[in-house]
Amino acid sequence: MGHIKEPKGIDFVIESEPLTDKARKEISEFIRNYKKKDKKKTSIRTSKAIHT
């Protein structure tokens, strides 16, 4: 995805529709699971570095 440069004197306004409750919950759950997986990877790397 590229960057679109705004011509002088023209403003691009992007309006997105508000999220539904279902979509908001799905996104929150995805982020929560992603962070859990990342913490597991980080803790494993750190413990190996300490014991080496």
Reported as a single tens digit per residue, the pLDDT across 3-28 is 777 788 888 788 889 999 999 999 99
pTM of the model: 0.46
Confidence of residue 42 (pLDDT cuts 50, 70, 90): low
Q: Is 19 left (phi over 0), alpha (psi -120 to 50) or beta?
A: beta
Give the pLDDT confidence score for residue 45 in this predicted structure.
Answer: 56
SS (H, E, C) 1-52: CCCCCCCCCCCCCCCCCCCCHHHHHHHHHHHHHHHHHHHHHHHHHHHHHHHC
Count of Cβ atoms closer than 10 Å to residue 46 Cβ: 10
Could you tell me the residue ranges of all domains in the chain? 20-52
